[in-house]
Amino acid sequence: MSHITIKKEYHPNGTVKVERRYKNGRLHGISKFYTEDGKLWATQNSTNGVKESMHFVLQPTPVPAGYWCTEEQEPTKHNKNNKEL
């Protein structure tokens, strides 16, 4: 029997930053990424720990302060000019 858990990370202001789903301890399903004002800006699908796709919900794709996605599609810390910190 599989066990699904949801883990959340939060922005400094208390709003949800990212919500990830895990199945049996491995990233599985849709992860959701939110801006500091609570808007959904991207989703990422994973299956059994393998990240498969990233979909940007807001168009044109705004980059919330402090975030960007690398080739591995993992959010990383960047400055306002999209330079990695």
Predicted local confidence at residue 73, as pLDDT: 46
Q: Provide φ and ψ at 47, rounded to 5°.
A: -130, 120
Contact in structure between 78 and 65 (CB atoms under 8 Å): no
Collapsed DSSP state (helix, strand, coil) of residue 17: strand
pLDDT tens string 20-66: 999 999 999 999 999 889 999 889 999 998 988 888 877 655 555 55
Residue 69 has pLDDT above 80, yes or no: no
Cβ contacts of 49-57, under 8 Å, gap ≥ 24: 51/27
The residue that leads in pLDDT, 59 or 84, is: 59
Q: What is the pLDDT of residue 18?
A: 94
Q: What are phi and psi of 60, to 5 degrees?
A: -65, 155
